[in-house]
Structure 1
């Protein structure tokens, strides 16, 4: 029963009020065990190199103590996660933990690992983990061919692409990942996601040379970054972010995954 003067929306968690289904964590930035206090349906743990991979005991505890489904991103070309080679790290993951299968960012791979074929490894990994999500970055067609849940990064064309997929008859699940800033303040937005959006090629091409990408940005650089923040991230008040999330669902997304770009504290209520 709600307390007097409390609306239904106010009784929901921050994650729910913002229209998010899941949160993504970067283990190099936070203690992933803290996610047990975040009321989300799913917790997706990014891969930032094997030195930051949470140990099996931490993952087991997170999966058993919280109510959320826990997914760990595993690069199928990397030693330890290669289903056609060394898969020791994959086999060490607790049974209660699901997976997001990705090709693997070159920044986290050796030259030899980068040369490994993606398609057969995704296929083999899905035989072992048929419920896994598949990250689509740089391997969109291969990911689509698997039929698994597609895990897409939010871009300025995401809504259009989702509508096209649904119109073409694609009936599978699509999870959309976006850095999320629950704030209207321009400086807060730029400090949180300015550097991230600046790395997107269409944005980098518009930015003046050597322009700062944080709150100190001014003039044209500031305008470009703030506009890009609405294309590549979910930013604004809880109500504003919820509106953006609902637009993505209307276009065809089934799960909205927010990365707390200002830290977990903003999502812990």
Structure 2
């Protein structure tokens, strides 16, 4: 929990994202956010339906649903659509390959996203890697923070796009550089531009040194919201000025950091 006069509610974040593999998602009830996004990390880590009902009784809940995965496929095996409790909304995504079988990963994304939006018109649509497809099917565009996010937002708004846009960002509320690198260094290092810039075999956490440290110090700020509350607040404000309607923070050091 943050101490002192500054708190997570002063960052300007609009929602919290939690990973059920890492925590009991009911931890969202200890945060000040009215909206919680529950990430998908494989069927074995889906929260119990009763847990989702409990959350939905007090918060707006959005469950990430990979449209290519068995059970969530709105054009085929869709048994899990009925399993999702009433009142739980969706974030429709293509699905990360790490959580899909080889057969699932080969399925076409476009028709499944379109069918999903038809069944759940209020769904958010994850844009990672499928930006044009996501834009074509409509719904709230759910962007993953990157070094290009601000320019992409401005470009979308400049073309006259007036749909809702949400931005997802791993968040670390500290200005301790070692703590930041330990929390989101590995995450940022998986991004292709960062991986290409890093020396081979270099550490990406608090052990990073020399050139690797320089690369990672920039990278964690490109792909995450890091710093004290005031610094994160300024970043969130800049995203909204560029065109974001909502900014969703994932507490990379655990949900206790967002508790109030």
Q: Same fold (TM over 0.5)?
A: yes
Structure-1-length-normalised TM-score: 0.93
- How many Å apart are 1:111 and its aligned residue? 1.1
Tell me the SS of whatever aligns to 1:205: helix
More relative contact order, 1 or 2 (CA 8 Å, 6+ apart): 2
Among 77, 86, 97, the alignment partner of 1:95 is 86
| 1:231 aligned onto 2:222 | yes
Counterpart for residue 18 of structure 2: 25
1:216 paired to 2:207:
yes
Contact 1:197 1:232 in 2 (8 A): yes
1-side partners of 2:207 and 2:104: how far apart?
39
Counterpart of 1:107 (choices 98, 123, 128) is: 98
Match of 2:45 in 1: 52
Q: Paired residue for 2:178? A: 187
Residue of 147, 157, 169 corresponding to 1:156: 147
Residue 247 in 1 paired to residue 249 in 2? no
Structure 1 unpaired stretches of 5+: 1-8
RMSD: 1.2
Q: Which structure 2 residue ranges, 5 or more long, are not aligned?
A: none
Deviation at 1:90, TM superposition (A): 1.8
Which residue among 34, 43, 55 is the counterpart of 1:62? 55
Describe the SS at the equivalent of 2:167.
strand
C-alpha displacement at 1:52, in angstroms?
Answer: 0.3
Residue-by-residue CA offset, 1:157-215 (whole Å, 9 max, x unaligned): 10011000000000001100110000000000000000000000110111111111111
Q: Which of the residues 74, 90, 100 maps onto 1:83?
A: 74
Q: Distance in 2 between matches of 1:247 and 1:77?
A: 34
Instruction: Name the residue aligned to 1:15.
Output: 8
Aligned-residue offset at 1:117: 1.0
Find the residue that maps to 1:178 and give its secondary structure: strand
Residues 83 and 121, structure 1, Cα contact 8 Å, conserved in 2? yes
2:133 alignment partner in structure 1:
142
- Determine the structure 2 residue equivalent to 1:165: 156
SS where residue 197 of structure 2 aligns? coil
1:37 Cα deviation after fit:
1.5
| Aligned-partner Cα distance in 2 for 1:84–1:144 | 20
Counterpart-to-counterpart distance in 1, 2:153 and 2:20: 29
Q: 1:122 & 1:208 partners in 2: Cα distance?
A: 38
Give me the TM-score of the superposition, normalised by structure 2: 0.97
Deviation string 1:36-78 (CA, Å, 9 cap, x unpaired) is 12111310000000000111111001111x2x21000000000
Aligned counterpart in structure 2 of residue 133 of structure 1, from 124, 135, 145: 124
